[in-house]
Amino acid sequence: MNFVSDVSGTPLARTHHAFTSIVKRNFELQHEDSGRSTRHIELTLPEGIHYQEGDHLGVLPQNPSELTERVLSRFNLNGQDYVNLTGDSGSAAHLPTGKPVKLEELLSNHVEFQEPATRSQIRALVTHTVCPPHVKELEDLLLDNTYKQEILNKRITILDLLEKYLACEIPFERFLALLPPLKARYYSISSSPLHNEGEASITVSVVRGEALSGNGEYKGIASNYLAERSQGDKIACFINTPQSNFQLPKQTGKPIIMIGPGTGIAPFRGFIQSRRALKEKGETLGTAHLYFGCRNPEHDFLYQEELVQAEQEGLVTLHTAYSRCPGQEKHMSRTD
Ligand SMILES: Cc1cc2nc3c(=O)[nH]c(=O)nc-3n(C[C@H](O)[C@H](O)[C@H](O)COP(=O)(O)OP(=O)(O)OC[C@H]3O[C@@H](n4cnc5c(N)ncnc54)[C@H](O)[C@@H]3O)c2cc1C
């Protein structure tokens, strides 16, 4: 099986039995006036990988270079240098220990940098800070209300604090050990294997906006990583079948109601593709109602053309609700 270079050997990839898929298409679903971004990403799966409608795609993202550069710069390190980490399989289980690893690779693929600083991280910074006024300021952050208001609500990270408190001399390896492991992110698969076996698509709302910290722009790790992939790029991922039995009923004649605002439409697009394939095979389909909501149909009615087409083919009855149509009350309608 193929793997994305650099990610293949990570403990995260091994835990999830990750494989490599190739980006076939990646395009914007929102109208340019919407001010937001939702990407439709089609992936070619390697041979032998199967999924069913309603499954999730787990994605192993990589931290962007803006973020890893901040760490390298704060610790005055060179991303091209190699380090050899030692540690046990407990606290360091998510880190590549016992072999030389390039710093850039280590920072891109193994740890989260954007989680709010924990109390134990702040305590560690206190221990390694020599300047008494800064020690006091850091200690104050541990007080219940201050911690909530200044750290949790603003999502201030340990990296933000290190950049503010330059007198803190925490060693790099200690900093690294304090960071949580990089997490896989899940996306509902928005296609049906009956439509195109060997391919899967996802529908990704890109997390981007003014940072709650007041410090520039906040960019979600996985959604931006995915949004920036181009045709031919490799993505490390895995298929996850939810335990909730979120699937089309086995008896095709059973009626179904689907409710999916925004990117919640994703699995239902797969369901509708499946219904089309089943209908073409001569199966009798029960009725299907889809309730979809968005802000304004001119901006963010995802897959509008496809859904209207599916309704014309008798595959689904659409019900829509719009929350931000200028001059109109919030309303819901049936499109017929
Ligand atoms: C089962 C499942 C299915 C899912 N399906 C889909 C799907 O089909 N499509 C989809 O788009 N998503 C889906 N998600 C969500 C998806 O997994 C990710 O959580 C989402 O894409 C954000 O990940 P990220 O790495 O981009 O952001 P992260 O790096 O994880 O950042 C998100 C965090 O940043 C915080 N944050 C947001 N804005 C700001 C800001 N301005 N300043 C500071 N902090 C901020 C948020 O509160 C959140 O805690 C699904 C999740 C699950 C569990």
Strand 256-259 vs strand 288-294: parallel, antiparallel, or unpaired? Answer: parallel
Q: How far away, in angstroms, is 219 Cα from ligand 1 center?
A: 10
Residue whose CA is at the smallest distance from ligand 1 atom 14: 187
CA distances from 181 to 156, 163, 236 (A): 18, 21, 16
Choosing from 204, 206, 207 the residue with most ligand 1 atoms within 8 A of its CB, the one to mutate for a pocket test is: 207
Percent share of the chain, pLDDT over 70: 94
Q: How far away, in angstroms, is 282 Cα from ligand 1 center?
A: 40
Report residues whose beta carbon is within 6 angstroms of any ligand 1 atom. Answer: 56, 61, 114, 155, 185-188, 203-205, 207, 209-212, 218, 220-223, 263, 266
Binned at pLDDT 50, 70 and 90, residue 59 comes out as: very high
Strand partners, 59: 185, 237
57 in Cβ contact with 189 (< 8 Å): yes
Residue 158: its pLDDT value, please?
98
Residue whose CA is at the smallest distance from ligand 1 atom 24: 220
- Rounded to an integer, the average pLDDT of 252-262 is 96
- Closest atom of ligand 1 to CA, residue 207: 26
Q: How far away, in angstroms, is 204 Cα from ligand 1 center?
A: 9
Q: What is the CB neighbour count within 10 angstroms for residue 148?
A: 11
Domains of the chain, first to last: 14-61+183-240 (2.40.30.10), 62-178 (1.20.990.10), 256-334 (3.40.50.80)
- Rounded to an integer, the average pLDDT of 263-289 is 97
Q: Which of 36-45, 208-217, 287-296, 318-327 is the least confident region?
A: 318-327
pLDDT of 332 strictly over 70: no
